[in-house]
Amino acid sequence: MRPWAQIRETHSGVVVLLGDHAFKLKKPVDLGFLDFTTREARRAVCLEEVELNRRLAPDVYEGVADVLGPDGELCEHLVVMRRMPEERRLSVLVRSGQPVEAHLRQVARMVASMHSRARHGPQIDEQGGREALWSRWTASLNQVRALPDVILGVEVLQEIERLTLRFLDGREHLFAARVEEGRIVDGHGDLLAEDIFCLDDGPRILDCLEFDERLRFLDGLDDAAFLAMDLERLGAPQAGEMFLNWYAEFSGDPSPPSLWHHYVAYRAFVRAKVACLRHCQGDSDAVWEARELAKLTVRHLRAGAVHLILVGGTPGTGKSTLAAAVADRLGHTLLSSDRVRKELAGIAPGQPAPAPFGEGVYHTEHTERTYGELLSRAGRLLRHGEPVVLDASWIDAGHRAAAEEVARNTSSDLVALRCTASPRVVAERLAFRTGGISDADQAIAATMAERAAPWPDAVEIDTGTSPEQSLERALAAIHPPPGTAARRFRRPRMEPG
């Protein structure tokens, strides 16, 4: 049976739970980021809270009540709400291991629908741009560094800052496109599992940010990522991933997984910062929470790093097979020099176009055009947060230098993989190869091997082993263990044929 009366207090208000209702009182405080010191300000924020939260819980927020003194004078204002059952909080359901998939699908639909109806405009767009996000990251990092006890560790903060700024530096086109597409909205701003109630007739989503509208002006994906982060924090990362997938489906948002990871990391670090502040205020439990949230931040920043992966080797060494396997496993875009070469020549990918080395479509001039177009396409994708796998021989040092320049200009991590195999394996593959795009034979392979410039920076992948072993070695090179420096949500992609 529900307790008849309870009182709960936060830094800015008091909630009285009485029978079937909840009454929220704003404290007359000035905390810097909010100022409720006048009754007029408290009334205004109460009205704003009711109006905003009715977007996702219209039958919960009943209105604003006036509190009268003994002589009938108006002295305060309260938000009046239906009382929600504690046992139906999404956070309670997740912690107890109850199924929540159906509820999360409904929540994703509700949030996407709210975003589709949300306000737009230059003032809102400004808060969702790259510069605003950069400023928020920097401010949070500086706040944590300025605390007397840096419980997250200097190295952890340095890695978070490095990964964050590297992603933001190369993604100007991505964030500009998000603004252009109308993805920046007046959203919820504080989407936590604790404030979502899963009722029989559908979810109720409460407690959006009402005291500072700038905190609600954000990318819709950023808004949704808040809940994905919170679900992972509660021990349900798969539920968080499913929620983001459903949100993307209902909102029609084709954003790259790298952006998903970045926003989840941002939300995790904001929570980590709050836990650090609580630790400095004497909360002994906050240390563990802050460090776990910092680990979550780093994990998603690493997963969201944008890679340019070169998979090279002479014909018959298995480079195209490995490149396709890497792209499929990681959900990266795959671009093939053989496909681009024939496209530029007006030849269908599957149409044979054999010619001696350096002639026909393999003439030096056409090869230069091919690599130029390959890297141009890669650069556009990288700037929009899409990691790329480039399948080509890469025997020319000049082509590799051009790829390095693309990686530098897009702040992307370059990984070079050189495929090798024994002469017997190569000869067998070339002799019995059918149905591929490449026209190279054993004579061309031999000539290319003689002319290949040394590639000392590449990780050698022996493809004479099982395909799975080759793939695992390649993946280890792309995502090395923590602490190993690289050169600087899974969705398979393939360049249209």
Q: Encode pLDDT of 146-162 as tens digits.
A: 998 889 999 999 999 99
**Whole-number pLDDT of residue 218:** 96
Q: Are 316 and 426 in contact (CB under 8 A)?
A: yes
As a whole number, mean pLDDT of residues 52-65 equals 96
Which pair of tokens denotes residue 448? Answer: 């290319």
* pLDDT at residue 484 is higher than 60: no
Instruction: Report the mean per-residue pLDDT for the chain.
Output: 91
**Longest Cα pair distance anywhere in the chain, in angstroms?**
102
* pLDDT at residue 491 is higher than 50: no
CA 434, CA 429: separation in Å to the nearest integer?
Answer: 9
- What are the distances in angstroms from CA 137 to CA 165, 233, 274? 9, 20, 14
**Whole-number pLDDT of residue 472:** 96
* pLDDT at residue 225 is higher than 50: yes
Task: Spell out the SS3 assignment of the chain.
Answer: CCCCEEEEECCCEEEEEECCEEEEEECCCECCCCECCCHHHHHHHHHHHHHHHCCCCCCCEEEEEEEECCCCCEEEEEEEEECCCHHHEHHHHHHCCCCCHHHHHHHHHHHHHHHHHCCCCHHHHHHCCHHHHHHHHHHHHHHHHCCCCCCCCHHHHHHHHHHHHHHHHCCHHHHHHHHHCCCEEECCCCCCHHHEEEECCEEEECCCCCCCHHHCEEEHHHHHHHHHHHHHHCCCHHHHHHHHHHHHHHHCCCCCHHHHHHHHHHHHHHHHHHHHHHHHCCCCCHHHHHHHHHHHHHHHHHHCCCEEEEEECCCCCCHHHHHHHHHHHHCCEEEEHHHHHHHHCCCCCCCCCCCCCECHHHEHHHHHHHHHHHHHHHHHHHHCCCCEEEECCCCCHHHHHHHHHHHHHCCCEEEEEEEECCHHHHHHHHHHCCCCCCCCCHHHHHHHHHHCCCCCCCEEEECCCCHHHHHHHHHHHHCCCCCCCCCCCCCCCCCCC
Per-residue buried b or exposed e for 222-234, using 16+ beta carbons within 10 Å of the residue's own CB: bbbbbbbbbbbbb
Question: Which residues does 428 contact at the CB level (< 8 Å), separation at least 6?
Answer: none
**Whole-number pLDDT of residue 35:** 85
What single letter denotes the amino acid at residue 75? C
Highest mean pLDDT: which range of 19-28, 191-200, 284-293: 191-200
* pLDDT at residue 436 is higher than 90: no
Q: Which of 196, 183, 179, 164 is nearest to 267 (CA)?
A: 164
Listed in order, the ranges of the chain carrying CATH 3.90.1200.10 are 86-303
As a whole number, mean pLDDT of residues 213-240 equals 96
As a whole number, mean pLDDT of residues 27-44 equals 87
Strand partners, 307: 413
CA 313, CA 445: separation in Å to the nearest integer?
Answer: 10
CA 213, CA 188: separation in Å to the nearest integer?
Answer: 10
**Whole-number pLDDT of residue 161:** 97
CA 431, CA 316: separation in Å to the nearest integer?
Answer: 9
CATH architecture of 86-303: Alpha-Beta Complex (3.90)
pLDDT band at 457 (very low <50, low <70, confident <90, very high): very high
* pLDDT at residue 132 is higher than 90: yes
**Whole-number pLDDT of residue 213:** 86
pLDDT band at 181 (very low <50, low <70, confident <90, very high): very high
CB atoms within 10 A of CB 268: 28
What single letter denotes the amino acid at residue 33? F
Q: Are 149 and 166 in contact (CB under 8 A)?
A: no
CA 97, CA 367: separation in Å to the nearest integer?
Answer: 57
Q: Which of 415, 166, 421, 31 is nearest to 13 (CA)?
A: 31
pLDDT tens, position by position, 360-408: 667 889 899 999 999 999 999 999 999 999 999 999 999 999 999 999 9
Sign of CA dihedral 287, 293, 297, 298: positive
CA 319, CA 452: separation in Å to the nearest integer?
Answer: 15
Give the gyration radius of the chain's Cα atoms. Answer: 28
Tell me which of 72-76, 269-273, 294-298, 477-481 is least confident: 477-481
Question: Which residues does 143 contact at the CB level (< 8 Å), separation at least 6?
Answer: 273, 277
CA 90, CA 124: separation in Å to the nearest integer?
Answer: 29
Q: Are 364 and 358 in contact (CB under 8 A)?
A: yes
Question: Which residues does 326 contact at the CB level (< 8 Å), separation at least 6?
Answer: 309, 311, 332, 389, 417, 471, 474, 475, 478
More confident site: 1 or 317:
317
* pLDDT at residue 442 is higher than 90: no
* Helix 364-383 / helix 172-180 crossing angle, nearest 10 deg: 60
* pLDDT at residue 454 is higher than 60: yes
pLDDT band at 488 (very low <50, low <70, confident <90, very high): very low
**Whole-number pLDDT of residue 282:** 86
* Helix 257-280 / helix 130-145 crossing angle, nearest 10 deg: 30
pLDDT band at 205 (very low <50, low <70, confident <90, very high): very high
CA 377, CA 381: separation in Å to the nearest integer?
Answer: 6
CA 244, CA 224: separation in Å to the nearest integer?
Answer: 7
Question: Which residues does 480 contact at the CB level (< 8 Å), separation at least 6?
Answer: 486
As a whole number, mean pLDDT of residues 447-464 equals 92
What single letter denotes the amino acid at residue 479? H
Domain 307-478 class?
alpha beta
- Kindly indicate whether the domain formed by 5-82 is annotated with CATH number 3.30.450: no
| pTM score of the predicted model | 0.89
Listed in order, the ranges of the chain carrying CATH 3.30.200 are 5-82
Question: What whole-number percentage of the chain has pLDDT above 90?
Answer: 75
Listed in order, the ranges of the chain carrying CATH 3.40.50.300 are 307-478
